[in-house]
Structure 1
Amino acid sequence: MKTFNTLFFVVAMFLSTSVALAQGTITGTVVDAESGPLPGASVVVKGTQNGTSTNFDGKFSLDVKSASGSIQVSFIGYDTKTVSFKVDGGTVNLGTITLVSNNSLDEVVIVGSGIIDLAEDRKTPVAVSTIKKREIQERAVGNVELPEIIKYTPSVFISRQTGFGDGRLLVRGFDDTNTAVLLNGQPINAQEDGRVFWSNWAGMADIANAVQVQRGLGASKLAISSVGGTVNIVMKAAEKKQGGSVRFLTGNDSYFKGTAEYNTGVNEKGWAFSVLLDHWQAHRRWGDGTFGQGQNYFFSVGYTPNERHAFNFLITGAPQFHGQKWSQSDNTTLNDPKFNQHWGYTSNLQGNNYTSEIDSERRNFYHKPVMNINWDWTISDKSELSTVLYASWGRGGGTGPRGDRTRDLNGQLDYFAIEQSNAAIGNGGFDNAESGYIRRASMNNHAWYGIVSNFNHDVNENFSFNVGTDLRYYVGDHFRQVANLYGLSSWQEDGVTYTEEYSPDPWAALFNFADEGDRLDYDYSETITYQGLFAQGEYATDRFSAFFQGAISNQSYQREGRFQGDLGKSDKLSKIGYNLKGGFAYEFAEDNQVYVNAGFYSRQPFLDNVFTNIRRSNALVEPEVDNEEITGIEAGYKFEIDGVFRAVFNFYHTDWDNRVLLSGGTLVNTDGSETNINVFERGVRQVHRGVELELDSRPTDWLELRGFVSAGSWQFKGSSNVQVFNDDTNTLISSQTGINRDGVKITTAPQFTAGLTARANVMEGLSVDVNAKHFGNHYRNDRDFDGTPQTRNFPKIDSFELVDFGLTYNFTIAGQRLTFRGNIFNLFDKRGIQDTDQFGSFPITGRTFNTSLRYNF
């Protein structure tokens, strides 16, 4: 009996103590605003070790020992959130707890972490801005192309030209030919001239996990053309989590887009599959004749056989076509900014009662499947090897006029009249007195293969190094073919009769294009090979870090002409290039850090700069074009209060010497005739210097504020030499030396910008955001048509401001998760000139909008 009483007393004491310790239970669901539940999120009572993790559905249940207090909810890649609670012996549901993603990219890099040169991978900082998946899927959707999501970052200018995918990206005044763009570590700048055609990558907004802009020297180890900076697009791999989504989007001018994706998640054998498909179309983007249509496909397979190896295969492509609009005179741009002289209706039934489809003589069409295989090998706790093998095959081009066109009273193409006139002619061409009119297509087909591999080793807790290789092989074919005869039975040119038509459609162009005997005007190929080696070492302690980086590369060029005399293959030219970068950072007080970086590039010229006339001649430029030389110095200061406030100040100075500039135009001769010309300017030097200030603040749980100011002074230095060639005969027309351009302002982008972004969580599931940006000190580009370089400053473009507005609402219906998003771009419908080139000006795109509804499952 005594033993029983003792046991009863102990049990009673245990139960009473447990009741005293466990005052109640709190439950809830942890979610991401865009992707839904967050399984594995940590939930801990503040100031204790009492905690738990969320289940697959993001739900948690936690016994608490006090009647009131607060919990801290955290998940990698998200800011920690503190939530208060009160209980009284029962169960209290805290509802849905939404976490906000921060700027870390650790959680989005599934494979290829050793290849993708993100700023997070190096402790010595660079000037960087990161846009996460949530913002990409909110703002870069539908009728807004991918580069526009980074326009609210310092020293970045997006010239939003009116065609789908025709915009230009500039960083610190350097265009995309001098800003490296990497897709999962794979370079995508065109091998011939460094350009990035964003229409070829229209699907990236749907499959990008993040976009990181590294301004200036950046963190990339490759010997790439990152004069202005580096843009890293982190593309999704096969997802670890099962689920999918369906989204429907509409916008101005009958824009429509439908997207569906599904992820199997990782099964018990380590396999995962992801697929995405979408279709979009619109009768215009904003300007007249800027119709478009396209698709996007993505398929990825991931395999993780064990903890040391991870593989991922993917293939993606975004076939599309769209009507284009070039620059106009200032009067046209200001009075009728939507005007476009390149389009018309395909037939005229009764007077002006048009009922047929819109078409354009300036149509861009392209299909560029991209495939890559990633392999990540964790060799040991200190060593890892990452490799990506990639390939892309581009097919397509752009159309243009050949012959004499007919226009209606509104200045648009009159296709009905053109077909009537062609039918009367029968056989047209440049060789006939009555030429007629056709649409030709300038084709740019290519095959590109490459491999990037990087070995990383942590020598000890303070020092690490990596070495790697970058190999590329590229063959491009360039020629013209007949796209549409418009009623002619044939077209004659240079003694050849053409009767075949090749549809300017991205799917058809993948396999159906003209054979060599059916090509007109020009036909040539180039082969570019590239071999690069790179290495980096970094030493870091709690307060100090320093790095040194170097790369060397060999690039060879060879051209083969197959037209106008069958030129055969040119001599092969090889050029050695290299770069050296180094820097250090020091945290002199808690959350106060300074850094200094410096670098030098000896960069090989683009292929287009090596030959006197890339389309028509195998002749190399004499004397031989030397490497461009770029010297960069940058410094910065960063102050941060975790989760509350961040301020970053950057200074940069970039000296770019021995640059080659190519341009073209039309020379009016003394007899009134016109000659098409190529202008070749050598020895150009320009200096870009400036300052940038970024401010981020989260004064409350429901409000985010971001602001920036960037001010630059970009101008030419010294003098340059100019040669002007006849484009048709490749003969030298004129040559000028010692043209003084010292102090002339660079005209590529606004040299002063300032922006403010505000995001407010109005209520559970509902948030609004406003983005405003000011553009100033943008100088006009008024190069003369005779090829004379700009030797004086022309007037500035009037400064202007643009404001965008967005709204997101996450809600459930019958337990199903849905997301509504609405965007208004250029909210106040600002009008004017935003940019210029040597032929005219581009209008500010007026007010546009889109709305979407996404169902997540």
Structure 2
Amino acid sequence: MKRINQVAMAVVCTLCAQNALAQKDVDTVKVRQLNEVVVKAVRAQKNAPFAVANIEKSELKDFSTTGRELPYLFSRTPGIISWSENGIGTGTTYLRMRGAAGSRINVTLDGVALNSPEDQQVFWANMNSYAALLGSVQIQRGVGASTNGDGAFGGSISLATQAPQVKPFAELTGSYGTYNTYNTGASFSTGLLFNHLIFDGAYHETATDGFVDGTRGRSGSYYGGLTWLGDNFQIRYKNIGNFEKTGQAWNYITGPEGTESYKQIYEMGLGRSNTLLGNYDKDENGNYKLTPFTYRDGTPWDRTTDNFYQNHNILSATWQPSEHWTHNAALHYTYGRGYYKDLKVKKSLAEKFGINERNDAGKFIKSDAVRLKGLTQNAYGLVYNVNYKDEEWDVTGGVNLQQFRGSHWGYLTYIKDEALEQKYFDNHGKYKYYDSDARKDDYSAFVKAAYTFLDNWNVFADLQYRHVGYKTDGINDKFVTGSDGNYYAQRLDVDDDFNFFNPKAGVSYTNGGHKAYASVSLANREPERNNYTDNGNYPYPKKEQVTDYELGYQYTGNNWHAGANFYYMAYDNQIAQTGQTSDIGEALTTNIKDSYRMGVELTAGWAPLSWLSVEGNAALSQNKIKDFDEYLGDHVNHYDKSTLAYSPSAILNGFLDFHYQGFNATWHTNFVSKQYVDNSESSERQLPSFSQTDINMSYTINLKGCGLKSVKLGLDLNNIFDRHYAVMGYDWGWYEGDTRKSYLGYVPAAGFTMMGNITLRF
């Protein structure tokens, strides 16, 4: 903190003295337009026939002081739910869009793919402060327009960094709240130097003790940029990094045997108990408590941590040679390295780590062990887009060339049986039990065109070709039984190629405040790494395909607006877990021939007074598997038209916004209907519906003169009615005779929390 303040004050002094530097007037609108060219290729055009939500800079700026990860902001738009493992919105965070998981949601930053090429995920664990760096976000639900990177099966999210500031500024922010959660940051811009150059930067971080025990963590991000502005072009280099060390709770909250709901677990006083830290035991009064795991010297196991560092480098050039033509090219390189460290208690060392040691009775030795599993990632590529636009045509073409090289590795750093440590550990005090390399090449090209005719009609076509090649080899972190009864590492030998053609077409009509549209889109998607590595010797899943039909109408009046978007997404060979386990004990995934998601997304808003507005949105849906076989041991359960897991039929958001002079206050109530934790549609394995309310308030004091320009005070009150509920969960099922058993785990939301913040702008 001291270091941040010193840097910030130095920047302030520099900015105040900058009048001595030569500057010229710059067309700020032109700067903003050139910045928008960077993301134009991956965003839907104004009249595109898709369901779109836009988040502007002011909303991102306000959200950045909360410390929460961006999915919590996205979930204010239709059809999205978000949750974090620690229960308060920081640290390891996830989202689903139209019921689709994060690996099926395409995310780009300034047109560069952010999804991890292998897992196809964006890990929202160290990106909480990106909100302070962004100028806008566009969320496209469904397949949407062509974008770079992985196929969008639930939707796509386009993040755009803010345009370089031609006027100097500096800003300091600080927030503090419940569970010792803090968020702090600084940002600045030199403004225009020497008529052409802008240097800007930012640093933000968040830390918390977490609602769930053992989820203490710290994460953050930094940004540094150089921009050269010409008359009709800009060259910009951006270095964006993020880091995290967060406590994990991936076992979720699980109660003692016999508990059936998170509410029951919470009422027992165990609602924050993280079973990665210990086991349930009873005290002398018969009450359950969590007894911590310990090392052999009696020291308690602290926590399971995830540790990751990532650095993005983007060098882009944007050129507008004429009124109708624009070009954008970007070279990018991303480096990532991380690991997680956790304790496995009383596990067979042979089954888990390939250490085939037996006791005197001939049984494999079980012991506690600490494992460290990590990876290294390198992704680099080229993005190029060209756009032509006049009164009738808006045509964009582009290519995306990306190569990924990665490695996966795992070590044991502790075994409770000291003799085995001495036997197997190397001179560095660890034992390597797996090591594999991976390569993925992702090349795509697209052209999309919108044509306006008869003043009000617009037709749209979008054609994309994508080639994906994935290879991985080496030793996996799973072990199989050999003919001698010992366990040996599973060898990986994957070499798959995919060629996808993804066409899209639509039509829209606009007249005054009216807009109506219809579209059909086709998208394909390759399996994730886990679909290969966890299937053991079973066949790998095949590609998935979805056909997305969208039909919508919107009206915007003087002080109100309303809209409805209908969709039907028909999946072919959707990959899903079946309940089976492979010969290495992992959950098997397979292609389900027919499934679908259908629904309507509603939006409305009314501003009866200049200082008061009411907003709302709703996503109502059905999400079905037409024919599904669930395997649990020797039992096979067949379901006709069962509901897809983690797909609530109703997600509602309501907002009441009061704004007068410098004061702003927003009331937000969110409702999520019940959802099932597997595909059986059983009431015994569901998460109950929940509703919760937040209030956000702020007051801005504007000042004049060189130095401090404004002071903004804010207060965030979350879950004001102190509701305790589970946002997400999982089920582990088995049969005892003919009786099905279930073991449920829950991701809880914290009760009432609050965060106060202050922002100083110079």
**C-alpha distance 716-141 of structure 1, shift in aligned 2 (>3 A):** farther
Is 1:760–2:658 an aligned residue pair?
A: yes
Question: Aligned partners of 1:557, 1:281: CA distance in 2, in Å?
Answer: 37
**C-alpha distance 632-802 of structure 1, shift in aligned 2 (>3 A):** same
Aligned to 1:180: 106
* Residue 146 of structure 1, aligned match among 57, 61, 70: 70
User: What secondary structure, in the 3-state scheme, does the structure 2 residue paired with 1:687 have?
Assistant: strand
Following superposition of structure 1 onto structure 2, how do residues 30-109 of structure 1 map, counting pairs within 5 Å?
Answer: none
Question: Aligned partners of 1:357, 1:821: CA distance in 2, in Å?
Answer: 42
- Normalising by structure 1, we get a TM-score of 0.72
RMSD of the TM alignment (CA)? Answer: 3.4
What's the offset of the Cα at 1:719?
4.0
User: What secondary structure, in the 3-state scheme, does the structure 2 residue paired with 1:217 have?
Assistant: coil
1:774 is matched by which residue type in structure 2?
F
Aligned to 1:287: 212
* Residue 854 of structure 1, aligned match among 756, 759, 762: 759
Aligned to 1:656: 571
Aligned to 1:533: 445
Is 1:771–2:668 an aligned residue pair?
A: yes
User: What secondary structure, in the 3-state scheme, does the structure 2 residue paired with 1:213 have?
Assistant: strand
Question: Aligned partners of 1:248, 1:364: CA distance in 2, in Å?
Answer: 25
**Preserved contact between residue 464 and residue 538 of structure 1 (Cα < 8 Å):** yes
Aligned to 1:21: none
User: What secondary structure, in the 3-state scheme, does the structure 1 residue paired with 2:472 have?
Assistant: strand
User: What secondary structure, in the 3-state scheme, does the structure 2 residue paired with 1:253 have?
Assistant: helix
Question: Aligned partners of 1:811, 1:796: CA distance in 2, in Å?
Answer: 48
Deviates more, 1:175-184 or 1:202-211: 202-211
- Normalising by structure 2, we get a TM-score of 0.81
**C-alpha distance 157-464 of structure 1, shift in aligned 2 (>3 A):** same
User: What secondary structure, in the 3-state scheme, does the structure 2 residue paired with 1:609 have?
Assistant: helix
Is 1:548–2:461 an aligned residue pair?
A: yes
Aligned to 2:398: 468
What's the offset of the Cα at 1:772?
0.7
**C-alpha distance 719-566 of structure 1, shift in aligned 2 (>3 A):** closer
Aligned to 1:600: 522
What's the offset of the Cα at 1:435?
5.9
Question: Aligned partners of 1:486, 1:274: CA distance in 2, in Å?
Answer: 51
Question: Aligned partners of 1:320, 1:663: CA distance in 2, in Å?
Answer: 34
Report Cα offsets for 1:292-338 as digits up to 9, x if no partner.
Answer: 1133211011112x223211111111211111123224343554321
What's the offset of the Cα at 1:582?
0.7
Following superposition of structure 1 onto structure 2, how do residues 676-695 of structure 1 map, counting pairs within 5 Å?
Answer: 676-695=585-604
What's the offset of the Cα at 1:470?
1.1
Question: Aligned partners of 1:319, 1:223: CA distance in 2, in Å?
Answer: 23
Question: Aligned partners of 2:69, 2:446: CA distance in 1, in Å?
Answer: 33
**Preserved contact between residue 32 and residue 163 of structure 2 (Cα < 8 Å):** no
Question: Aligned partners of 1:136, 1:156: CA distance in 2, in Å?
Answer: 17
Deviates more, 1:320-329 or 1:122-131: 122-131
Higher radius of gyration, 1 or 2: 1
* Residue 640 of structure 1, aligned match among 521, 538, 556: 556
Deviates more, 1:231-240 or 1:481-490: 481-490
Aligned to 1:715: 624
What's the offset of the Cα at 1:139?
2.8
* Residue 366 of structure 1, aligned match among 304, 308, 321: 308
Report Cα offsets for 1:267-316 as digits up to 9, x if no partner.
Answer: 2331101111234322x121111101133211011112x22321111111
Aligned to 1:318: 242
Is 1:339–2:263 an aligned residue pair?
A: no
Aligned to 1:376: 318
What's the offset of the Cα at 1:806?
0.8
**C-alpha distance 767-683 of structure 1, shift in aligned 2 (>3 A):** closer
**Preserved contact between residue 531 and residue 555 of structure 1 (Cα < 8 Å):** yes
Question: Aligned partners of 1:191, 1:291: CA distance in 2, in Å?
Answer: 28
User: What secondary structure, in the 3-state scheme, does the structure 2 residue paired with 1:157 have?
Assistant: strand
Is 1:811–2:701 an aligned residue pair?
A: yes
Report Cα offsets for 1:807-833 as digits up to 9, x if no partner.
Answer: 111114685311111101111111122
Question: Aligned partners of 1:830, 1:553: CA distance in 2, in Å?
Answer: 46
- The unaligned stretches of length 5 or more in structure 1 are 1-74, 78-105, 345-350, 406-427, 502-517, 668-673, 725-732, 783-788
2:271 is matched by which residue type in structure 1?
P
Aligned to 1:573: 496
* Residue 235 of structure 1, aligned match among 152, 157, 161: 161
**Preserved contact between residue 111 and residue 311 of structure 1 (Cα < 8 Å):** no
Question: Aligned partners of 1:358, 1:851: CA distance in 2, in Å?
Answer: 34
User: What secondary structure, in the 3-state scheme, does the structure 2 residue paired with 1:570 have?
Assistant: strand
* Residue 425 of structure 2, aligned match among 494, 497, 501: 497
User: What secondary structure, in the 3-state scheme, does the structure 2 residue paired with 1:113 have?
Assistant: helix
Question: Aligned partners of 1:567, 1:796: CA distance in 2, in Å?
Answer: 35
1:385 is matched by which residue type in structure 2?
H
Is 1:837–2:760 an aligned residue pair?
A: no
**C-alpha distance 359-390 of structure 1, shift in aligned 2 (>3 A):** farther
**Preserved contact between residue 367 and residue 416 of structure 2 (Cα < 8 Å):** no
What's the offset of the Cα at 1:173?
1.1
Aligned to 2:9: none
**Preserved contact between residue 114 and residue 456 of structure 1 (Cα < 8 Å):** no
**C-alpha distance 301-156 of structure 1, shift in aligned 2 (>3 A):** same
2:399 is matched by which residue type in structure 1?
T
Aligned to 2:331: 389
1:298 is matched by which residue type in structure 2?
Y
**Preserved contact between residue 223 and residue 551 of structure 1 (Cα < 8 Å):** no
Question: Aligned partners of 2:36, 2:421: CA distance in 1, in Å?
Answer: 51
Residues paired across the two proteins, number: 672
**Preserved contact between residue 249 and residue 853 of structure 1 (Cα < 8 Å):** yes
What's the offset of the Cα at 1:443?
0.6
